Amino acid sequence: MLLPSYYEYCCRVKTVAGHEVLERIPELLSSMHAGKPMIITDKGVVAAGLMDIVTGALADKLVIGSIEDDVPPDSDLRVVNELARKYKAKGCDSIIAVGGGSVLDTAKGVNIIVSENADDLMKFTGAGALKRKLKPLVAVPTTAGTGSEVTLVAVIADHEKNRKMLFTSYFLLPDVAVIDSRMTMTLPDFLTAMTAMDALTHAVEAYTCLSKNPVSDACALEAITLISRNVLNVVKNPTDKDGRLALATAATLAGMAFSNSMVAMVHTIGHSVGAVCHVPHGTCMSILLPYGLEYNMHKNGEYTAELLYAVAGEKVFASTPKEQRAAKTVEYIRGMNQALHDATGGRHARCLREIMGRDGKPMVPAGTLETIARVALGDGSIFYNPEDLDFDDMMMVLTAAWEGVKLDQNMIKKG
């Protein structure tokens, strides 16, 4: 594996994974001198019946301080402050976050307030603002995608002042990530497909971007292998327990990879498609991933080529001539999208114009592409992309992804 001239890697989170591992939580908390957690989650998790599994697993082995299931999809400062107040009022001593990105961000925000006894969260936004370990935080992901159970950032919106606060610190890493296959067992097929593609994108971008390093490379390779061998099976057989665990483990591995190597232009553009048109993140990722690889091919083609073994298996890798492997990797990822499109009855979109809203109207009208490109120029992940992107480059990528056609290699400016 390539050893860059300098790299850093850190993932302090203890990973506990398996088919029945929620039961480990009381013991894990008690080893951190805690026994009265506040459980933070959202209505969707409760409706899917996952909360019952969690409380059943904790049973009488600890006192649940409080169950808060009101976290909205775009959580904000008000919710964080409210939960922190309840945490103190009910005498909790730790947090269990059950859910996806928004739940975890909220839990991290609450943890800063209750651990630092703070009244103003804003004081903790700068680099190095947190200096101490916070209260024990256990993360239980309910989708196999975001990887936020192993990331060290939290974004909390302040809707009143119309701003977003960004927190970055190793102290924000959860203490434990509990990956239990029961938590993703009931995820519908199209959500399974799209969250898996989000995880795949994390791993692929981590492996091919500027700050790749050997540890995240190893995480990424394992993640990509697990996803490409399992995703279609699980979408077709949703109760495949081992497949579910494989995807969930892969998402965590991909999270470890990208939280250390960062992500690149697929996220740069994907974030702004999401922000401008409210398209689910995973959908943007699966559509844009092949374009990110094509656009950077002249810079990182050798890494993309290596990924062929992980996405397509050893036989395909060995029987593909060296110079064709990178292109073949992209072809395989497009093939995955097509297969998922077919397996979900068309709900897994293959290009931007195919994305339909609940009302049956296209969510990304061609007219929005310029706005998307402009917003993308202000996304921080652009720093980690191997090749530069200006407005025209963004438009070229977006137009191709909208139509669903390959990028024309001759149109890419190579400096």
Residues within the interface to another protein (CB under 8 A) = 1, 3-21, 31, 33, 126-128, 131-133, 166, 169-170, 209-211, 214-215, 218-219, 222-223, 226, 242, 245-246, 249-250, 252-253, 256, 262, 306, 309, 314-315, 317-318, 377-380, 382-384, 386-388, 413-415
Q: Classify 280 as helix, strand or coil.
A: coil
Question: Closer to Fe ion at the Cβ: 198 or 393?
Answer: 198
Question: Closer to another protein at the Cβ: 71 or 327?
Answer: 327
H/E run at residue 38? strand 37-40
Question: Closer to another protein at the Cβ: 7 or 339?
Answer: 7
**Least distance (Å) between residue 252 CB and Fe ion:** 13
H/E run at residue 246? helix 241-261
> How far is Cα 409 from Cα 81, in angstroms, rounded to an integer?
50
DSSP 102-158: HHHHHHHHHHHHHHHT-S-GGGG-STT---S--S-EEEEESSSS--GGG--EEEEEE
Closest C-alpha to 295, from 193, 374, 382: 382
Closest C-alpha to 204, from 182, 227, 229, 179: 227
DSSP state of 363: S
Task: Select the binding partner of residue 377 from Fe ion, another protein, none (C-beta < 5 to 8 A, by kind).
Answer: another protein
Which residues partner with 124 through β-bridges? none
> How far is Cα 29 from Cα 153, in angstroms, rounded to an integer?
22
Task: Select the binding partner of residue 198 from another protein, Fe ion, none (C-beta < 5 to 8 A, by kind).
Answer: Fe ion
**Least distance (Å) between residue 340 CB and another protein:** 22
**Least distance (Å) between residue 359 CB and another protein:** 31
Task: Select the binding partner of residue 186 from another protein, Fe ion, none (C-beta < 5 to 8 A, by kind).
Answer: none
> How far is Cα 311 from Cα 221, in angstroms, rounded to an integer?
9
**Residue 169: both structure tokens together:** 């610190």
Question: Closer to Fe ion at the Cβ: 383 or 391?
Answer: 383
Q: Pattern 334-353, binding to Fe ion, x per CB under 5 A?
A: --------------------
- Which amino acid does the sequence have at 210? L
Task: Select the binding partner of residue 300 from another protein, Fe ion, none (C-beta < 5 to 8 A, by kind).
Answer: none
Question: Closer to another protein at the Cβ: 221 or 330?
Answer: 221
In sign, the C-alpha dihedral spanning 258, 379, 336, 304 is negative
Applying CB under 5 A, which part among 48-56, 83-91, 193-201, 225-233 lies near Fe ion? 193-201
**Least distance (Å) between residue 246 CB and Fe ion:** 19
Task: Select the binding partner of residue 5 from Fe ion, another protein, none (C-beta < 5 to 8 A, by kind).
Answer: another protein
Question: Closer to another protein at the Cβ: 209 or 277?
Answer: 209
Rounded-to-10 torsion of CA 86, 90, 92, 96: -50
Does residue 175 touch Fe ion according to CB under 5 A? Answer: no
Task: Select the binding partner of residue 18 from another protein, Fe ion, none (C-beta < 5 to 8 A, by kind).
Answer: another protein
Task: Select the binding partner of residue 365 from Fe ion, another protein, none (C-beta < 5 to 8 A, by kind).
Answer: none
Question: Closer to another protein at the Cβ: 268 or 283?
Answer: 268
Taking each helix axis from N to C end, the angle separating 391-403 and 369-376, rounded to the nearest 10 degrees, works out to: 130
H/E run at residue 180? strand 176-180
How long, in residues, is the chain? 415
Question: Closer to another protein at the Cβ: 198 or 306?
Answer: 306
Q: Classify 258 as helix, strand or coil.
A: helix
**Least distance (Å) between residue 159 CB and another protein:** 18
Task: Select the binding partner of residue 46 from Fe ion, another protein, none (C-beta < 5 to 8 A, by kind).
Answer: none
Q: Are 177 and 14 in contact (CB under 8 A)?
A: yes
Question: Closer to another protein at the Cβ: 209 or 363?
Answer: 209
Using CB under 5 A, which of 198, 294, 306, 387 touches Fe ion? 198
What residues contact 131, with CB distance under 8 A and at least 6 apart?
171
Task: Select the binding partner of residue 391 from Fe ion, another protein, none (C-beta < 5 to 8 A, by kind).
Answer: none
Q: Are 200 and 247 in contact (CB under 8 A)?
A: no
**Least distance (Å) between residue 350 CB and another protein:** 29
Interface residues with Fe ion (CB under 5 A)? 198
